[in-house]
Amino acid sequence: MKNDAVSIVWFRQDLRVADNPALNAAAESGCVLPIYILDDVNAGDWSAGAASRSWLHQSLAALDESLNGSLLFFSGDATAIIAHLIEVFQVDAVFWNRCYEPWRIERDARIRTVLTSRNIRIESFNASLLWEPWTVCKGDGSPYRVFTPFYQKGCLSRPAPRSPLPAPARLRYADATAEPGLALEQLGLLPRHDWHRSLLAHWQIGEIAAQHRLEAFCEDSLASYREGRDFPALDATSRLSPHLHFGEVSPHQVWHRIENAAMNVTGDGPPHYLREIAWREFSYHLLYHFPRLPEANFNTRFDSFQWLDDDAALKTWQQGKTGFPIVDAGMRELWQTGYMHNRVRMIVASFLIKNMLIHWRAGEEWFWDCLVDADLASNSASWQWCAGSGADAAPYFRIFNPVLQSEKFDPDGEYLIRYCPELAPLPARFRHKPWEASDEVLRKAGIELGIDYPRPVLDLKTTRARALARFKALA
């Protein structure tokens, strides 16, 4: 090893210094040139949405601080940018942690070909998944299509996830004066309006914040996770999904912290949480083996389904003005916080797809733009699951009744009034279905339906029957 060797460490979805194999390898090789490239050129239609970009800005700022202000920012085609940096800094090696989206796989393969032809050392590592997609397959080598055997026979039969790595004991940074890159603000990640300010006010962002969130979950909610996770008014879930997506915390760190916590926890909260982490793994397994998952029905029978093209209905759903409180509360939570409780995600998705008969792609695209945890694998797999067109999907006849779901999982309407405060004056039983309140009850609450809160935009019974008829026609 040359003492003056310069190695690029290319940060992507691994915005942390601990348990970062690429960073550790670069640190051992000599001077480190840490870079981040906003590559919308290759991302194309899957460039990050507005909420994700706002989070990314803050996460990069936190990472740059952890790297003593040495992180270099670039924007454009990663292939050309890395080739340029190799020339400028006489780079000996490039290190990165692997990504699994189809467009990233194709781009990284091109970069590897270019660098190999120039005799540049390249090393990539697994930092984002517990089990990489090609390591978990059935006995005949084919990919799993059902979650339970994927997890129990595929994942759990393999060696346990590796232990997290410590942060490098010492980092020596290359002199970057020859090519200082862009200022973070020049990446243009923040929207011109101030929507992101109220959005990000709900979050602490960065590696340190992710660790704090993980610890708080283990101490406060893990024991009761199985029972509490379905109740959106409770702080019973980890809310680690955006931290995991951007790699502020690794799944290895999460897995081992949960296993350690389980030794002091009674009940089955820990195994149920680890199972949810495995669902994330399953989504990436599907995306890797079926790269058209974000845009094409996994089950091709759904290609002939007759969707409705109703922009007005879609808009009422997006704006949280459907007249169904649990749906509206979820969509308003999404807009205000960049997040939505998982139980509510299933409810609003079922409502859009099966009551409104609007294509799952419309919901997927809206979530992609509005979620801070917008993840190509999880987003597309989850929407197809709800539609019935995906792998191991909910059956077509599983149509969530938003009123019954609301009454069961938010009995006092606490979650509802958090995001639909105009319903707070109503008695709890009418918060779920204000259209059933008498004129006197509405008058006392100061609510005029259609003015203060929308009337229902559809009839649940009629639209359920319509959906069932169309879904059955596919059989």
Q: Decide if 343 contacts 350 (C-beta within 8 A).
A: no
Token pair 């940060």 in the structure block, residue: 11
Active site residue 360: yes
Instruction: Please tell me which residue in 276, 407, 414, 422 is annotated as part of the active site.
Output: 276
Residue 265, number of CB atoms within 10 A of its CB: 17
The SS3 of residue 31 is strand
By CB neighbour count within 10 A (0-12 exposed, 13-18 middle, 19+ buried), where does 405 fall? buried
Instruction: Please tell me which residue in 203, 360, 366, 385 is annotated as part of the active site.
Output: 360
239: left (phi over 0), alpha (psi -120 to 50) or beta: left
Kindly list the distances between the CA atom of residue 368 and the CA atoms of 104, 330, 355, in Å, as whole numbers in the listed order.
17, 15, 21
Spatial CA neighbour of 254 closest among 153, 128, 159: 128
Q: Decide if 144 contacts 154 (C-beta within 8 A).
A: yes
What is the sign, positive or negative, of the torsion defined by CA atoms of 463, 322, 357, 400? negative
**Amino acid at site 142:** S
Instruction: Please tell me which residue in 10, 131, 255, 383 is annotated as part of the active site.
Output: 383
Instruction: Please tell me which residue in 103, 307, 365, 422 is annotated as part of the active site.
Output: 307
Q: Decide if 360 contacts 383 (C-beta within 8 A).
A: yes
Instruction: Please tell me which residue in 103, 126, 342, 407 is annotated as part of the active site.
Output: 342
Active site residue 195: no
Residue 16 — φ and ψ, nearest 5°?
A: -155, 165
Alpha-carbon distance of 440 to 456, in angstroms, equals: 19
Inter-axis angle of helices 360-370 and 342-350, nearest 10: 140
Active site residue 131: no
Instruction: Please tell me which residue in 132, 195, 227, 279 is annotated as part of the active site.
Output: 279
Q: Decide if 249 contacts 339 (C-beta within 8 A).
A: no
Which DSSP helix (H) or strand (E) runs through 122?
A: strand 121-125
Alpha-carbon distance of 237 to 390, in angstroms, equals: 25
Helices (H), 389-451: 402-409, 414-419, 428-431, 439-445
Which residues lie closer than 8 Å to 8 by C-beta, 6 or more apart? Answer: 26, 33, 34, 35, 82, 85, 86, 89, 91, 93, 94, 95
Active site residue 279: yes
Strand order across the 72-75 sheet: 72-75, 31-38, 6-11, 93-97, 121-125
By CB neighbour count within 10 A (0-12 exposed, 13-18 middle, 19+ buried), where does 147 fall? buried
Q: Catalytic residues, which ones?
A: 276, 279, 307, 342, 360, 383
